[in-house]
Amino acid sequence: MNAEPHPGSTSKNADDIVITLAIRTPLAKARKGSFKDTSLEYLVYALLKEVKDRSSLDPAVVEDICLGNVSDSKAAYKLRAAALAAGFPNTTSCSSLNRFCSSGLKATADIAHAISSGSIGVGIAIGAEQMTIGGDALEAPFDDQVTKHSQESVDCMEPMGWTSENVSRDFGITREEMDNYAAESFQRAERAQKAGLFDDEIAPIKTRIKDANGEWKEVTVTRDEGIRPGTTAEGLGKIRAAFPQWGPTTTGGNASQVTDGAAAVILMKRSTAIKLGQPILAKYVGSTIAGLAPRIMGIGPTVAIPKLLSQHNLTLNDIDVVEINEAFASMAVYCRNTLGLDWAKLNPRGGAIALGHPLGATGTRQIVTGLSECRRTGKKILLTSMCIGTGMGMAGLFVNEQ
């Protein structure tokens, strides 16, 4: 039986920061999927239009929109243009931010904290990534006048696949454990998709795609594309190593997929939601960030989660659903085992290995998926977390109220 959570987490007060809408686009395969010809600004525009229409909120009350995005240096321009096109007035401000894979959660936290401090009243956090166009690989090494002072400074340049191999090697995570974990992620996502569990979190997106002849055609994207039906650990075991120069364990089958997609949440105080007649989906309780060695960045959740739980007087026994970003099966297995997580509670609909990891979107996507699962099962407390390139972990805590 679960221990009673700290009353401050689940209590209801007028000043609580609450989520009144949480939706996402389908997640499409980068470079060959349904969003391969869709711009970042169109993806953001289409989702913001859904946010506006579904919430029936007067767009003029939205004071700020924050976009988490990693790979597009023009994201702030594109967000502003997309928001105006979607029907938000020029009085609604916009910004973008980048804390790598946690950007969507950081956008959520930043909007929540701005509301909490009285800076704004209503805001939207969105995470979006068009990985077809680019990921976050470095174009050139850092200035050696900087890196000569610190090995960890040098380690910040390690590609993510290298850090995955560091985790499996340093902590004795085997290829077999990783493939077993990945197969379970695929199987859970396949079951969830077949049962229609993703339907209440996905907003279908109308867009255009170029066919093999270079002709444009209109499509409506409704389903996640990364799920591979019938995936088994045995099948995954036959896939060759993706980074043989760094190690033998990480493959295209047991690492997160390269993905295009977006997710968004509306945030305001409970008192504001009641005044505006908005449904209260969940309460934002808090979030935190923690740092660690860049070369093993994948284990970031194991430093962020205990820190966040201790801040709120909680233990993992109090948590009903845990969403940890499956950047690589190496870090997912390590985090599950080191934290002693009940695997049944962890990514019950599968994670990034099966669904994909649109870098800036994941932190928001986890909230959308986790809250949907809490609603379906009548569960209360959601914990989200992810590792972050260059050696960090972030975690967020939410209470479902539906």
Would you please indicate which residues are annotated as catalytic (active-site) residues?
101, 357, 387
Q: What does the block give as tokens for 278?
A: 């908005």
Distinct helix (H) and strand (E) counts, the chain: 14, 12
- Nearby residues of 349 by Cβ (< 8 Å), 6 or more positions away: 188, 189, 192, 197, 198, 355, 369, 373
Burial 182-196 (b: 16+ CB within 10 A, else e): bbbbbbbbbebbeee
Distances (CA, A) of 53 to 57, 83, 115, 192, 372: 8, 13, 22, 26, 19
Residue 126 to residue 107: CA distance in whole angstroms: 7
Q: Do 345 and 319 touch, CB atoms closer than 8 A?
A: yes
- Distant-in-sequence contacts of 140-146, Cβ < 8 A, 24+ apart: none
